[in-house]
Amino acid sequence: MKEYTLEKIQKFISKISNRFNYLFTFIINPGVEPTNNRAERALRPHVVLRKILGTLRNEKGTMIHERIMTMLATWGQRGLDCLQMLTAKLTS
């Protein structure tokens, strides 16, 4: 491999090298999308709602809301019953 002297280039090469197996997963596994656009679109309505309501004014409340909404969106995309899954998680 060619040696680069610029620190920024060395850091970039290091990042790519460390993440190489993960960056191209979508090529090896056709079921994996190359972007996270679907996930971003699924969460967008919840972000807008949170901003409109303005009820989550602290970091802890925002974090809890984000985690719950992420789980609901994931379960919905997988065709799972969100209420059943949430109940199971809260009672386990």
52 and 63 assigned to the same domain: yes
Q: Full-prediction pTM beyond 0.75?
A: no
20 and 51 assigned to the same domain: no
pLDDT, residue 3, reads 67
The encoded tokens of residue 32 equal: 């994996």
Residues 16-23, mean pLDDT to the nearest whole number: 86
* Kind plus residue range of the DSSP H or E element containing 63: helix 59-77
80: confidence class by pLDDT, cuts 50, 70, 90 = very high
Residues 37-50, mean pLDDT to the nearest whole number: 80
pLDDT at 46 over 80: no
27 and 46 assigned to the same domain: no
20: confidence class by pLDDT, cuts 50, 70, 90 = confident
Residues 66-75, mean pLDDT to the nearest whole number: 85
Domain count, the chain: 2
Q: What is the domain extent for residue 8?
A: 1-34
Spatial distance between the Cα atoms of 17 and 22, rounded to a whole number of angstroms: 10
